[in-house]
Amino acid sequence: MTLGEKLKMYRKQKGVSQEKIAELVGVSRQAVTKWESGQTAPSTENLMALASIYGISLDELAADKKAGGADDRKILHTNLTLIAIILQASFLNAAIQPSQVRETDPPFMKTVELAIKFVPLFAASVWMAGNLRYEKDAAQYKKNARIELLYCLIQLAAAFFGYYSRLYFVGTVLLIINVLVYIFVINPRYMKRRLTREWKKKRDPLGR
């Protein structure tokens, strides 16, 4: 997408006319028309004004398609990592819950129950470990692998505690706390992975 196409898209998203944009930036409507058609490009000062009006960063406005594609891949990798962490914890919590198989049930039902509990857990764990491949820095990759292994051991300890003590609710709470600390503290601080989005309220020059 060209700069002119972006300018036109963001203006339409705001639902304002070229005349209004021209008034806010301090240029003629013809100048805005030429920007959006690609005949001319706005100055850096005007680009900054346009970015402020549209409520986006200057990088977002001026970035080319390749940069946007890299951002999209980064968002996808982040989402996949976050989903894998949550699923692994959920399946681990399900695995420690009391057995629903009764003594009168056929013997194979116990095997079926174990498969239902542990096959998804194993798959989620493999998926979670596989997401480490997105880290391109070799030193950071090794560090993240060690941290993730420690996290999984702590999760297993919490799960075993809940299961063998029969304090299933306590085990669940411990798993949840561990997941939250891992996502909101450990990942951004030590693993250089920010799995949550920071929302910043931007002032809208159009008064909306």
Taking the alpha carbons at both ends of the chain, their separation in whole angstroms is 26
Whole-angstrom CA distances from 169 to 40, 53, 122 are 64, 50, 22
Distance of CA 97 to the CA centre of its chain: 29
Rounded mean pLDDT, 194-203:
57
pLDDT digits (tens, 9 = 90+) for 35-69: 999 999 999 899 999 999 998 888 888 765 444 45
CATH superfamily of 3-62: lambda repressor-like DNA-binding domains (1.10.260.40)
- 60 secondary structure, DSSP code: H
Rounded mean pLDDT, 87-98:
95
> In which band, very low, low, confident or very high, does the pLDDT at 12 lie, cut at 50, 70 and 90?
very high
Domain chopping of the chain, boundaries: 3-62, 65-190
pLDDT digits (tens, 9 = 90+) for 152-177: 999 999 999 999 999 999 999 999 99
pLDDT at 24 over 60: yes
Residue 18: the pLDDT is 95
Rounded mean pLDDT, 11-29:
94
